[in-house]
Homo-oligomer: A and B are copies of this chain.
Amino acid sequence: MSSSDARPPRDVTRNDVARLAGVSSAVVSYVVNNGPRPVAEATRTKVLDAIEKLGYRPNAAARSLITGRSDLLGLIVPDVSNPYFAALAQAVEVAARAKSMNLVLAQSTTGGIAPLVETLSGHLVAGVITATAPEPEAVAVALRSRVPLVRMSLATPTERLAIWPDYYGGARAAVRHLVEVHGHREVALVIGTDHPEATDEPMDDRERGWRDELVEAGLGTGHRIRVHWSSAGGLAAAALLVSAHPGVTAAFAASDQIAIGLVAGLQRAGRPVPGAVAVTSFDGSPGAEFAVSPLTTAGVPLARMARAAVAEVLGTVPKSRSYPTTLVVRESCGCGVTGPGNG
């Protein structure tokens, strides 16, 4: 501690273990990796003892250098502080750890993910799971470095290397509940956008689901509000809804975060949910239960999706790429509410 530890004492290496156990370093390797060659039980025990005694821990860098792969797995999300992506990250971390993989978390808050994929691939990650839509350059980088880039929970599904919730079906179920169970005729859509000014954005499957469900019921699709994918966006949507769409009696929010803000904003504007306006949403995040009006929401099976995404990174072709949602019925739709309401 006196000098600025100029050169840290070397870690205990596989050779130290071999020496103490009285075997060759190869045998230590076979024991540590359970292969690729068999080891006699007695020898194995000696090695294990030596490892224990020395507190030996394999150097992941050396291993990666030779194998060309690591036990690292990249995860790119727009922003982990968003509860949906937080839930996604937690599910992926659990799924990764179940496969003895470590998660490297990267946020794409600003700009493209190509530099992130580049960095990650420099770490020889087994693959990258992205919840941010990769721009063409990012895809090119992944291809060039031969790193599987698995899209997870993106609104515009691809056929290859992607896992997504059934946005379309979930949205239809959430809208159908409003129409069939509660009899609403004017159902607005409140959806997010990443490019507020862009007009040629591909249509989100949740929007498609909302539209088709209304059309099939013979209802109009004139009420559509686009805001940020956040509770603040939902708050803004509430203001818009009361001012520009006064006749609306129900709304489908494309995410719980939006719904949380929407429901709070509606309440503040004197249009309580579900009394004045019924709301359903999409995600099934834990916080939905504690919204100003507990949210009825299409629940996404993140744990299963995460396992599928990790498996896909590891080279397993998943049985299914689209995961059905389950409508969690609470109160924001008008169900089970006592007192003044339109149930």
Contact = CB atoms under 8 A, between A and B. Distances in A.
A269 to B, nearest CB: 14
Contacts of A55: 144
A264 B290 contact: yes
Interface stretch (A39-47, A76-84, A152-160, A247-255): A76-84
Contacts of A83: 81, 83, 86, 287
A93 interface: yes
A337 to B, nearest CB: 11
Given A86-B83, A287-B287, A61 B70 contact: yes
Contacts of A75: 105
B290 A260 contact: yes
Query: How big is the A interface, by class?
Result: 35 or more
Interface string A86-129: 11011101100100001111110100000000111111100000
A264 B122 CA distance: 47
Interface of A: 8, 11, 55, 57-62, 64-65, 68, 70, 72, 75, 79-83, 86-87, 89-91, 93-94, 97, 102-107, 109, 118-124, 144-146, 231, 235, 260-261, 264, 286-287, 289-292, 294
A123 B104 CA distance: 12
A46 to B, nearest CB: 22
